[in-house]
Amino acid sequence: MDIVRYGIIGIQGVGETHLRLAQKHQKVELTALVDIDSDAVKYQAQELGIRSFTDYRDLLDADLVDAVSIATPHNLHGEIGLACLNAGIHIFVEKPLANTVSAADAMLSAALLSDLKICVGHQYRTYRTPQRMKEIIDSDILGPLHRILWTWLEFRPDSYYKRDPWRTNWRQAGGGVLLNQTSHDLDLICWLAGAPVEVSAQIGKQLHSYLEVEDVACATARFEGGALASFQGSVNQPGAFSLRQLAGDRAMMVIQDVKSLTGDQTDEILLGHYGDALSSLTASIEPISGQPPITWESINTEPSSTDSPTGHELLLHSFVMAILQGGEPYVTGQSARTTVEFINAIVLSALKKRTVELPLDPAEYDELFSKLVNGEMSL
């Protein structure tokens, strides 16, 4: 194979980005579009001179694609993703990988069985600020991580939910501010700090009483390396003063007012160096209220001079090249599973009012999730 025959399932919203990028990729031949909006999909396919379908199952039978992008409401990622994998088709699935860790596991097993690729739309990992943060962590400037403080704050008016009713309920959206808006940030936290091993949380509804799902979440987590994290996400506040602080044994990294990471923009990262490891300064500082000195360095995450692609363009390219040449896409299904498990654990902890240890019991979450979907339990 030297070209990937490609389909898009869910062509409006972010599916349009997948369509545009697939169209211009030299190793991709766009062959089919699927959407339940029959007028939209027919019109778009006619414009491109390719086939259209309103039921994804008809695409699976048509032998038209080697790979697809899935950009539908969340509940369909697991269902459509698994059906594609079982039909021998590689998938680039939008975030979240699935609503539940059990659905994610079914997809991962199917991919493994047939040697198929899964790429997930966590493109924030490709942006310059998270990239710089990752470089700083990997270069061990911070030393072992002790603490993470991370907020994500933006406003979503009622019109947002009226336009896309699927975002309001457990069955389709699978969750609110966690699975929808902050799955990118929770993904970044796991990408930077490793897997969470213990979670305790509160979630709720503050401004959107008509939602089934949460519009605010606060969680604390312990990570595999020992770091303790506090996370707050809310769609009930203007988008300002989102904060990221990752504090290690030798230095801390702070981004004081994070702009939305929906684009690849510049942020100022402050690096505070202690000059020595805090773990040794505890023994050497004599005055009982003595504070280790901090030397601040400002790092501006300017665009890279190479102008290399980021975001979905980079993800799609990595996906296509993994299919053609082997290796893994930039965001693997396995790494995105960690994010789904983290989010499921936050919901489980909040609703069961207890600390949740990971690995999460998928069956326990499925039972809770089914009660939420069936209305036997609510926020």
Binding site for ligand NAD (CB under 6 A): 9-15, 34-37, 56, 71-74, 76, 94-95, 121, 123, 164, 180
Residue type for position 264 = D
Position with the least CB separation from ligand NAD: 13
Alpha helices in the chain (DSSP H): 15-24, 38-48, 56-60, 75-86, 101-114, 128-138, 158-163, 170-173, 183-193, 278-284, 311-325, 333-352, 362-373
- Taking the complex as a whole, how short is the minimal distance between the CB of residue 34 and ligand NAD, in angstroms? 5
Q: Which is nearer to ligand NAD, 36 or 228 (CB)?
A: 36
Sheet holding 216-223: strands in order across?
295-300, 268-273, 251-258, 242-248, 145-153, 228-234, 216-223, 196-204, 356-357
CB of 119 to ligand NAD, least distance (A): 11
Least distance (Å) from ligand NAD to the CB of residue 294? 35
Q: Residue 9 or residue 252: which is nearer to ligand NAD going by CB?
A: 9
Q: Which is nearer to ligand NAD, 11 or 346 (CB)?
A: 11
The position carrying tokens 């902050």 is 182
Provide the 8-state DSSP code for 313. H
Q: Which residue lies nearer to ligand NAD by CB, 120 or 227?
A: 120
Cβ proximity to ligand NAD: between 99 and 232 the closer is 99
Instruction: Answer positive or negative: Cα dihedral of 339, 343, 345, 346.
Output: positive
Report in angstroms how near the CB of residue 209 gets to ligand NAD at its nearest: 22
Q: Indicate the residue among 158 and 297 with the shorter CB distance to ligand NAD.
A: 158
Residue nearer to ligand NAD on the CB measure, 126 or 220: 126
Peptide bond into 362 cis (omega under 30): no
Q: How far is the CB of 232 from ligand NAD (least distance, A)?
A: 20
Q: Give the pairing type, strands 295-300 and 268-273.
A: antiparallel
Token output for 356:
């949740």
Q: Is there a contact between 46 and 76 (Cβ–Cβ < 8 Å)?
A: no
Could you tell me which residues come within 8 angstroms of residue 334 by beta carbon, excluding any fewer than 6 positions away? Answer: 108
Q: How far is the CB of 26 from ligand NAD (least distance, A)?
A: 23
The least distance separating ligand NAD from the CB of residue 361, rounded to whole angstroms, comes to: 25
**What's the one-letter identity of residue 112?**
L
